[in-house]
Structure 1
Amino acid sequence: MKAIEITQAGEMKMVVREMPQTGAEDILLKLSYVGLCGSDLSTYLGKNPLVQFPRIPGHEISAVIESVGAEVPATFQPGQQVTVVPYTNCGECSSCKQKRFNACRYNQTLGVQRDGAMAEYLAVPWQKVLADEQLSAVQLALVEPLTVGFHAVDNGKVTDSDTVVIFGCGMIGSGAIVRAHLRGAKVVAVDIDDSKLEVAKRLGADHVVNSKSQNLHEELQKMTGGHGPSVVVEAAGSPFTYQAAIEEVSFAGRVVCIGYAGSDISFATKLWVQKELEILGSRNANPSDFEAVIKYLKSGKLDENLLVSKIIAPEDVPAAVQDWSENHGKILKILVQF
């Protein structure tokens, strides 16, 4: 079968791989669309320490069931449209014992610690497959990236009494904007790209701030009556936004961190104590987040064209990723159509 492989940092090409081997509890999938994620870009650039080369990227999946193993439940049948939960969990570590499977100590994500879905076929355990005939193939490919922002908002315990600031209006931040809006919160989106801020408005942001051209502190103070936002979601992975999150959040506020910064960051630690902040990490997503995103997409409230920057063929992936690495500011989601 054809597959896209990152052979080493800065090098990606089409290769031919053997068809996946399937066991009794496995489902063989024929891929429809696979999304390119920021983690795939980091892998391509050689910045992901969890990856060993060569690696097939891809964990944002839309597919059709090709065949099922002998012990797969009868609810799964060839021809069904599906998406996939791309993480593993051991069931025994401290996270798993608390049913926080998304933070499993030994997690292996498709396309990161193990080969991913950027190929014609993929075999996965049936327990990781979610079938849904109401969603389109494109919508199914958007489920997983939206779940990460949904999960962050859940971690932040956001309610309709909160003002939530979201730093970074990429795909992950977009999911956080949607979820916070659905919770009834006042949502403020912050980015340095006006086109992404326009999308943020259409996704439910009540206010937007371009932190490059506007005074972020002054704008947030005006919006919150001088208190600062009660919740900040950091989805940009920038030293500036990490520092701003601590500085701008209200006293007794919550900060939820999703983004990976490329370097260590210095904080005014007195603010943690004086404000009595809750500072939380947020990783991947749980089954409940997948259910929530699927329910949202079924509502018809999202025009997926807002989030899909382009759809490309597999043979165009190397050039597209190279271009993305040089001009990543305008891209929300690239889908590869198999």
Structure 2
Amino acid sequence: MDALVCTQPGTLELQHIPPPVPADGQVLVRPRRIGICGTDYHIFEGKHPFLNYPRVMGHELAVEVVDAPAGSGFKAGEICAVNPYLSCGSCISCRNDRPNCCTRLSVLGVHQDGGMTELLCLPPDNLIRGDGLSVDACASVEFLAIGAHAVRRAGVAKGERVLVVGTGPIGVGTTMFARIAGGDVSVLDLDVERMRTIASITGGKAIEVPNGTSPADAALAATDGEGFDVVFDATGNKHSMEASFSYVAHGGRLIFVGVLDAEICFSDPDFHRREMTLLASRNATGEDFTHVMAQIRGGAIPVGSLISHRTSLEASVADLPLWARDKAGLIKAVISID
């Protein structure tokens, strides 16, 4: 079978490899759609902090069941979304119902080979039936669940002023679910055209930064100088993450959704003066996947407006590096295997 392998930073190869053999209890699936996300671009560029090469990427998956063991609850032909976070089930995080930050977490496409391939073996607990959802929608669940988890972790309440910094796919999902939670949501991105596009899709309000002013000035002006009750930084950019402290109102909350392989610095006196709460949000849980799928079924998530680029497994050798360099017009790219 074919698999797209990142052999080293900057190098992709379509390789012919042996098909996988399911271990006891595993389900054999065929990936049908694979979303390409910021993690995949970072792996290709050599910027991911938790990875060894070579690696088959791909964790945003819609799969078709090929063969399932008796008692798994699945049957051939079913379309499923995939929870790509394989947890141990016994560590302190798992015992406290937080498998998203399991101490021995293995993420498909990061810590172990993922879904940019023709066949894959998965535990049945990591498959979620896509009843009522299209194949495209099933492939969109994971990246939307990241935003849904961040919003749930922040405890966004109705009427709170919310700012989402960064309008990549994770920022898109965060914006949508902050609005679903009842927040009054604004978005901020230095790519003005992208920000306007995402604002029109998500219903968030774009914060324009006039010439001669800073993003902090513009963000504060949008709240009459008070700042936002909740700020999500979805950039994974050191400068942006450090600047995000200045957007938070007194008593407000800052949530880092993006991850960065670097140290973050901030002013402790200013942090204490505002009595801010700083939170990290990592991955998502089954509860978030269920919430996302319910919102898609209910029509709250315009999946058709989110997928802007499509490619095949073979063409990804050229397309993924291209999109890593040039993201003009790119919202979400997917690999289709039919």
Q: What TM-score range do you get, normalising by the shorter chain?
A: over 0.9
RMSD: 1.6
Superposed structure 1 runs of 4+ greater than 6 Å apart: none
Structure 1 residues 315 and 191, CA gap change in structure 2 (3 angstroms):
same
Counterpart-to-counterpart distance in 2, 1:179 and 1:49 = 27
Q: Match for residue 283 of structure 1?
A: 282
Percent identity over the alignment?
28
TM-score if structure 2 supplies the norm length? 0.95
Counterpart-to-counterpart distance in 2, 1:117 and 1:45 = 19
**Matching of residues 158-307 of structure 1 within 5 Å:** 158-211=156-209, 215-261=214-260, 263-307=262-306
Report if aligned partners of 1:51, 1:113 keep a CA contact under 8 Å in 2: yes
Q: Match for residue 132 of structure 1?
A: 130
Structure 1 residues 319 and 232, CA gap change in structure 2 (3 angstroms):
same
The secondary structure found in structure 1 opposite 2:228 is coil
Structure 1 residues 211 and 108, CA gap change in structure 2 (3 angstroms):
farther
Q: Match for residue 111 of structure 2?
A: 113
What is the identity, as a one-letter code, of the residue corresponding to 2:289?
Answer: F
The structural deviation recorded for 1:225 is 2.7
The secondary structure found in structure 1 opposite 2:7 is strand
Cα deviation 1:6-54 (Å, max 9, x = unaligned): 1111110101111111134211111111111111111111122321111
1:312 paired to 2:311: yes
Which structure 1 segments of 5+ residues have no match? none
Report if aligned partners of 2:176, 2:301 keep a CA contact under 8 Å in 1: no
Structure 1 residues 218 and 335, CA gap change in structure 2 (3 angstroms):
same
Cα deviation 1:123-177 (Å, max 9, x = unaligned): 1011110012311101110000110011111111101131010000110000000
Counterpart-to-counterpart distance in 2, 1:250 and 1:195 = 27
1:69 paired to 2:69: yes
Q: Match for residue 54 of structure 1?
A: 54
The structural deviation recorded for 1:198 is 2.6
Counterpart-to-counterpart distance in 2, 1:206 and 1:89 = 34
Aligned residues: 336
Q: Match for residue 87 of structure 1?
A: 85
What is the identity, as a one-letter code, of the residue corresponding to 1:232?
Answer: V
The structural deviation recorded for 1:301 is 3.1
Structure 1 residues 65 and 190, CA gap change in structure 2 (3 angstroms):
same
The structural deviation recorded for 1:99 is 0.7
Report if aligned partners of 2:207, 2:222 keep a CA contact under 8 Å in 1: no
Counterpart-to-counterpart distance in 2, 1:251 and 1:99 = 31
Which structure 2 segments of 5+ residues have no match? none
